[in-house]
Amino acid sequence: MSRTSRLLMAAAAALLATTFFLPLWSITLEAPQYPEGIGMNIYLHTVAGVKPNDLDNINGLNHYIGMKKIQPDSIAELRYMPSIMGGMLLLAAIAAVAGRRWLVLTWVLLFLGVAIAGLVDYYQWGYDYGHDLDPRAIIKIPGMSYQPPLIGSEQILNFTAHSWPGLGGIAAGLSILLGTAAWFVSRRGRGPVPAAAVLVCFLPLLFTGCSQGPRDIDMGREACANCSMTITDARFAAELVTSTSKVYVFDAIECLAAYINDAKVNEADIASLWTMRHDAPGTFTDAAKAWYLRADGIQSPMGMHLAAFENEPAFSEARKKEGGELLRWTGVRLRVAKEWDDEDAE
């Protein structure tokens, strides 16, 4: 291999060394009662609060909703992850010294497999904590789970949960890119790229190729997945998109909430939720982040007087005219669960 390729592999190894003291992933929570936010960092060997008491505060909140206590010593992955990362660091260093292309490609493929396995394990960890709830919990909401997003932000009760790679996770990702670059640089003038290398380059597309966004609704033709009524009003329609890109459409926000409350779709399979903006008919906004106005003057299709707005200014403008109350997504689900269940009982 060329000197440049070796230097790139050496840099990849150096970046991996930072993962032993920088967080791989960070989860933070924002809520009115925690204006500065609380959070935790996931390291190779432990989980720690962003601030000294954050992990205790998070465990205290989890207690109310029945989530298990986060105890780093009980998480098996934290015991063997340092050894795995140490092995990857050593292999990267050997590849840099030996200067063998096949060794670099092996390292890239192996590390990519480790990274994907780590993300899958992290998702399953979050799923277990968010769904395996204590039935004796103080706060119980039918059909509600508390799994943080794998990556991104999500509204959970009155908290906004953020889940993003930490500096160590970013360093690990850059390390893979440097290793890939080292291999490509070493191949100058050596003919077609092997299929395995092409797979490395395009593998991320496999995770993004399936759309999880909303699609247009054929107004006046499509029927609501929950109540079977024809969808006609673009001010109130909604959509649910699954992880396999299957789309369910609804004529009203309350039908979307009821569909989830009644467990007609597994919450773990939900990729995104969308509602149409009342102030911009036909335009979707993220249902989990929307601002909902409930006012008597709003004639929604199912009679709960619910309308969605993308942000606080749009909501406040409508509220000046209509009055009414503010709800966020969790509040919408709770109201639908209570009022529609009461109607069914009568």
Which pLDDT value is given to residue 208? 46
3-state class of 301 per DSSP? coil
pLDDT digits (tens, 9 = 90+) for 246-256: 889 999 999 99
209-240 residue pLDDT tens: 445 678 888 888 889 999 999 998 999 999 99
- Of 331, 249, 270, 336, the C-alpha closest to 130 is 270
Asked if residue 290 has pLDDT above 70, the reply is yes
Q: With CA atoms as reference, report the closest residue to 183 among 117, 118, 92, 116.
A: 92
The number of beta carbons lying within 10 Å of the beta carbon of residue 176 is 21
How far is Cα 50 from Cα 274, in angstroms, rounded to an integer? 32
Q: 243 CB contacts (<8 Å, ≥6 apart)?
A: 210, 212, 269, 270, 271
pLDDT of residue 24: 94
Predicted confidence (pLDDT) at residue 145 exceeds the cutoff of 90: no
Please state, in angstroms and rounded to a whole number, the distance separating the CA atoms of residues 307 and 105. Answer: 53
pLDDT of 79 higher than 70: yes
Rounded distance, CA 234 to CA 218, Å? 10
Give kind and range of the element (H or E) at residue 203. Answer: helix 195-208
pTM exceeds 0.75: no
Condensed to tens digits (0 to 9), the pLDDT of residues 38-49 reads 899 999 999 999
Report the C-alpha gap between 248 and 144 in whole angstroms: 19
* pLDDT at residue 209, rounded to an integer: 45
Is 112 within 8 Å of 203 (Cβ atoms)?
A: yes
